[in-house]
Amino acid sequence: MAGYRNVTRRSFLQKSAGLTLSAMGLPYVVRPSALGRAGAVAPSERITVGTIGVGPQGIYVMRNFLAQDDCRVVAVCDVKKPALEAAQAVVNERYRNADCVTYADFRELIARPDIDVVHIATCDHWHVPVALEAARAGKAIYLEKPMGLSLAEDQALRDACRRYGTIFQFGTQQRSERNFRFACELVRNGRIGKLHTINVWCSGSSSGGPAQPVAPPDWIDYDMWLGPAPYHPCTPDRYTNQWWWFISDYALGFIAGWGVHPLDIALWGGAEKLSGPVEIEGKGVWPDPAGVCDTATNWNVVARYASGVTLNFTGNPVPEAWRSRYGRISDHGTAFEGDAGWVHIDRAGLNAYPRELLTTELGPNELHLYASNNHARDLLDAVRSRRKAICPIDAAVQADILCHISDIAIRLERRLRWDPDTERFTDDAANRRLVRALRSPWRL
């Protein structure tokens, strides 16, 4: 149509308001903060955020968004009424008003045209269904890790993000910490020589959990909490972080819930050396079937890549040889070993041999990785510039795949061959584990 211009909802409202005041012929005063002066950000320039899933992790990341002056958290959503009210109070206290809107159904929040970013921190089994709804609605996404309960879910979300041009940030926030970035730069610039081994570890899953059925409390919509997961009668605290994390209907356990963090760093530092075909095998330690928890409490996985690099992935306790070599072991970590030294990184700090690596300065012609110092801030900057965030959808899927094939390897207890090009095993029985059915009426 000749002369057509795209007018956003916000610009339309702003222009309408200005025309109304002009037509009235009345004097009016616009405060400097409304125009973005005096150190403030004009409302029309703010990025609006809605948070879905406001348990401990959801609140933690939401506070990061609340600290950013150029965005505004306007809505929160949860199926647990106490969590919902607590999150609303946090938002309203930050802005000193009562404007934060609450929702029990994520679809209502996502349907709001004034929301730009959806932060998703639900239970794991809801991650992909909620993110798909957000991508299709044109929202930018901050998705807590891990991604999906199956590779098919991961692929569906990746396809949607590509189709709709979604700005996506995965919740592997270690990429936004300088020490992790520097460790990976040392490896990728050859400062430890030729990389041959990567050792990765994290806390194992919990066991137990009361199994006797009980009526769900009246402050939770239990059927909505189950959502796409198979129906199971409510058991005491099944819906809390104490137990759901370790029930395979809702999560893969800490082999993914914790493991995705150090595995993501392994992929970031290993780069193309971990991009080819891989042989993977492993064994798991499983909980007493009398409890509700059924994910591996510990595991030992060995992945041998076509590049010659071996990745060892285990839960705690780690091998004594690792403790002796690295001198300091926390409940998680990633260690890169080359023929001229090693680098060990976790949230407690950076460790290396030779020690001089810690004070190395990279030259201008060496590889400098994308730098972010705040994961939420990085997503907001990506929304404004339309560039990729530091952990975009493709990197997120690769980290999640490593969790999935590790879990499948310990369940089948035989050597498997994974082709990253087709994203399939050469073993058909293993491939059947790449898909999970969703409870009706939920679907991808």
Contacts from 287-291 at CB under 8 Å and sequence distance 24+? 287/205, 287/206, 287/207, 287/208, 287/246, 288/207, 288/208, 290/211, 291/207, 291/208, 291/209, 291/210, 291/211
DSSP E strand stretches across 275-339: 278-285, 298-305, 310-315, 333-338
Q: How much is the pLDDT for 185?
A: 98
The pLDDT tens digits of the residues spanning 262-276 come to: 999 999 999 999 999
Residue 231 has pLDDT above 70, yes or no: yes
Question: What is the average pLDDT across 333-351?
Answer: 97
Top-confidence residue, 72 or 23: 72
Domains of the chain: 177-364+393-434 (3.30.360.10)
Q: Return the SS3 of 374.
A: coil
Is-contact 125 67, C-beta < 8 A?
no
- How many Å apart are CA 407 and CA 281, to the nearest integer? 10
pLDDT tens digit string along 185-224?
999 999 999 999 999 999 999 999 999 999 999 999 999 9
Tokens 């997503």, located at residue: 379
Q: Is the pLDDT of residue 229 over 60?
A: yes
CA pair distance 219, 255, nearest whole angstrom: 31
Lowest-confidence pick of 2-11, 97-106, 233-242, 317-326: 2-11
Angle of CA points 424, 426, 428, to nearest 5°: 85
Percent of the chain with pLDDT strictly greater than 70: 90
Residues 6+ apart with CB under 8 A from 431: 424, 425
Q: How many CB atoms lie within 10 A of CB 285?
A: 14
Query: Shortest CA distance to 253 belongs to which of 284, 225, 222?
Result: 284
Does position 81 have pLDDT exceeding 90, yes or no? yes
Would you state the pLDDT for residue 37? Answer: 42
pLDDT band at 41 (very low <50, low <70, confident <90, very high): low
pLDDT value at residue 110: 98
pTM, two decimals, is 0.90
According to the model, what pLDDT value does residue 328 have? 87
Share of the chain above pLDDT 90, in %: 88
Number of C-beta neighbours around residue 266 at 10 A: 24
Average pLDDT over every residue of 69-95: 98
Would you place residue 40 in the very low, low, confident or very high pLDDT band (cuts 50, 70, 90)? low
> For 13, how many CA atoms within 13 A lie in the half-sphere containing its CB?
6
Is the pLDDT assigned to residue 97 strictly greater than 60? yes
DSSP string covering 232-267, please? ----TTTTSTTTGGG-TTT---HHHHTTHHHHHHHH
